[in-house]
Chains A and B, each alone.
Chain A
Amino acid sequence: MTTNQMAIEVEGLQKSFGQVHALRGLDLHVPVGQVTGFLGPNGSGKTTTIRILLGLLRADGGRASLLGGDPWSDAVRLHKDIAYVPGDVSLWPNLTGGEAIDILVRLSGPLDPKRKQAMLERFELDPTKKARTYSKGNRQKVALVAALASNAQLLLLDEPTSGLDPLMEAAFTESIREVKAQGRSVLLSSHIFAEVEKLADEVAIIREGVTVETGTMAQLRHLTRTQVTVVLDGGVDGIAALPGVHDLATTDGHITFAVDEAELPGVLAAVAARNPRSIVANPPSLEELFLRHYGDELAALGAGSEK
Chain B
Amino acid sequence: MTATVAAPTGAPARVRPSSDSLAGLGTMVRLVVRRNRVRFSVWFLVLVVMYQYIVSYYKTVFPTQQSLDEFANVANTPGIKALTGLSPAANTMGGAVWTKGWMTIVVTLALVVVFLTTRNGRADEEVGRTELLRSRMLGVHAYSAASWLVNAVLCLAVGVFIALVSIGGNLDPAGTGITGSLILGASITGIGLVGLGVGAVAGQVATTSRGANSLASSVIVVFYVLRMAGDLGNGVLTWFSPIGWGQHMQPYAGNHWWPFALLVVFAALLLGVAYWLEGTRDFGAGLVAEKAGKAGSPARFASPLGLALRLQRNPIIGWTIAVVLGGMMFGSVVQAMTNLLKDAGPGANDLLRGEGVDALLALLLSVMALITVIFALQTTVSLRSDEASGIIEPQLAGAVSRWTWSLQRLVIPAVWSAVLLVVGGYLVGAVYGASIHDASQGGRLAIAALAYWPAVMVFVGLAVLLWGYVPRLAIPITWGVMAAMWFLTMFGEVFRLPQWFLNALPLSATPYLPLESMSWTPLVVMALIAGALTWIGIDRFARRDVQPA
Chain B residues contacting A17 (CB-CB under 8 Å) are 289-290
Contact partner of A77 among B9, B20, B34, B292, CB < 8 A? B20
Which B residues between 1 and 50 are near A, CB-CB below 8 angstroms? 1-17, 20-21, 23-24, 27, 31, 34-35
Give Cα A280 to B2, complex, Å: 41
- In the complex, the answer to whether A79 meets B7 with C-beta atoms within 8 Å is no
Q: Closest CB of chain A to B18's CB: distance in Å?
A: 11
Chain A residues contacting B5 (CB-CB under 8 Å) are 1, 3, 68
**Any A CB within 8 A of the CB of B59:** no
Contact partner of B138 among A83, A89, A107, A132, CB < 8 A? A107
- In the complex, the answer to whether B23 meets A76 with C-beta atoms within 8 Å is yes
**Any A CB within 8 A of the CB of B168:** no
Chain B residues contacting A32 (CB-CB under 8 Å) are none
- In the complex, the answer to whether A54 meets B134 with C-beta atoms within 8 Å is yes
**Any B CB within 8 A of the CB of A293:** no
- In the complex, the answer to whether B13 meets A73 with C-beta atoms within 8 Å is yes
Contact A89 to B132, CB < 8 A, known contacts A2-B1, A9-B1: yes
**Any B CB within 8 A of the CB of A95:** yes
Chain B residues contacting A86 (CB-CB under 8 Å) are 128, 131-132
Interface of B is mostly: loop
**Any A CB within 8 A of the CB of B135:** yes
- In the complex, the answer to whether A73 meets B15 with C-beta atoms within 8 Å is yes
Among listed A34-42, A59-67, A219-227, interface-contacting one: A59-67
Contact partner of A9 among B7, B131, B133, CB < 8 A? B7
Contact partner of A69 among B6, B10, B140, CB < 8 A? B6
**Any A CB within 8 A of the CB of B282:** yes
Contact partner of A64 among B7, B17, B34, CB < 8 A? B7
- In the complex, the answer to whether B282 meets A6 with C-beta atoms within 8 Å is no
Give Cα A244 to B1, complex, Å: 33
Q: Closest CB of chain B to A180's CB: distance in Å?
A: 20
- In the complex, the answer to whether A76 meets B138 with C-beta atoms within 8 Å is yes
Q: Closest CB of chain B to A93's CB: distance in Å?
A: 7
**Any A CB within 8 A of the CB of B549:** yes
Chain B residues contacting A65 (CB-CB under 8 Å) are 4, 6-7
Q: Mark B193-223, 1 if CB is under 8 A from A, else 0.
A: 0000000000000000000000000000000
**Any B CB within 8 A of the CB of A115:** no
Give Cα A143 to B132, complex, Å: 8
Give Cα A73 to B14, complex, Å: 8
The 6 closest A-B pairs by CB, nearest first: A65-B7, A84-B135, A107-B136, A56-B283, A76-B20, A90-B127
Other 14 A-B pairs with CB < 8 A, given A2-B1, A63-B8, A107-B137? A2-B4, A3-B7, A18-B289, A19-B292, A56-B283, A58-B14, A62-B12, A63-B4, A65-B4, A69-B7, A73-B15, A75-B20, A79-B134, A90-B128
Q: Which residues of A contact B (CB under 8 A)?
A: 1-3, 6, 9, 17-19, 29, 51, 54-65, 68-70, 72-77, 79-80, 82-84, 86, 88-95, 99, 103-104, 106-109, 132, 143, 156
**25 A–B contact pairs at CB < 8 A?**
A1-B5, A2-B3, A17-B289, A54-B134, A54-B135, A56-B282, A56-B283, A56-B284, A61-B12, A63-B4, A63-B12, A64-B12, A65-B4, A68-B6, A69-B7, A70-B6, A70-B8, A72-B12, A76-B137, A76-B138, A84-B136, A86-B128, A88-B128, A91-B129, A107-B137
